[in-house]
């Protein structure tokens, strides 16, 4: 399947390029960016991740888009949709990871709002979810800005986090938005 290119007022969400790998590896090695993850990623782990992203686009037509700021920055990270079957069967997550220098400009909510539109209109998803560690206030703010609602009954202990090594990263809070709810907000 061909990867769609999405555009917002300031951003382009596009297929990945070979030139994205080096800045993405630097982003994934940044301890500030990776604060709410078990560990920063190595260059090899980053390359494997990009390969999985490209495979996702090839099989489904959606995934994690590389994000650039129009006429300013050729790559600032990713925003997109990703399967979250490890949390709930059939769940699809909207997620983002941007370079620390791109924080605070509203890029994550701007891109994520376009990804929600794509997910509901073009993919036909009935619900899109997002989740993060209990202390990740930045991601929670993005979730709220794009209209996702907190659903405490769906909070969970992340099955891929080792509680012995990272007890503060185990508990995740859950947000969701249904297609009908999104459509009502778009009116």
**How confident is the model over 137-154, as pLDDT tens digits?**
999 999 999 999 999 999
Residue labelled with tokens 């891929």: 160
How many angstroms separate the most distant Cα atoms in the chain?
47
Q: Model's pTM, two decimal places?
A: 0.95
Residue 10 has pLDDT above 60, yes or no: yes
Domains of the chain by range and CATH?
A: 6-186 (3.40.630.30)
List, for residues 37-78, the tens digit of each pLDDT value: 999 999 999 999 999 999 999 999 999 999 999 999 999 999
List, for residues 148-171, the tens digit of each pLDDT value: 999 999 999 999 999 999 999 999
In this prediction, residue 57 carries a pLDDT of 96
CA distance 21 to 132: 25
> Residue 63: which of 122, 151, 137 has the closest Cα?
122
Counting residues of the chain whose pLDDT is more than 70, the rounded percentage is: 99
């Amino acid at each position: 399947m061909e990867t769609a290119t999405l555009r917002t007022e300031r951003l382009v969400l596009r297929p990945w390029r070979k030139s994205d790998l080096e800045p993405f590896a630097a982003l994934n090695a940044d301890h500030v960016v990776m604060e709410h993850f078990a560990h920063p990623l190595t260059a090899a782990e980053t390359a494997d991740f990009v390969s999985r992203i490209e495979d996702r686009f090839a099989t489904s037509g959606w995934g994690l888009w590389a994000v650039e700021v129009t006429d300013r920055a050729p790559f600032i990270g990713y925003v997109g949709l990703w399967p979250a079957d490890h949390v709930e069967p059939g769940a699809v997550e909207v997620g983002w990871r941007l370079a620390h220098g791109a924080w605070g400009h509203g890029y994550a909510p701007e891109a994520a709002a376009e990804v929600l539109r794509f997910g509901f209109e073009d993919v036909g998803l009935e619900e899109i979810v997002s989740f993060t560690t209990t202390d990740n206030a930045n991601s929670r703010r993005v979730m709220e800005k794009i209209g996702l609602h907190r659903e405490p009954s769906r909070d969970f202990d992340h099955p891929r986090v080792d509680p012995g090594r990272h007890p503060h990263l185990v508990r995740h809070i859950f947000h969701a938005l249904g297609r009908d709810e999104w459509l009502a907000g778009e009116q």
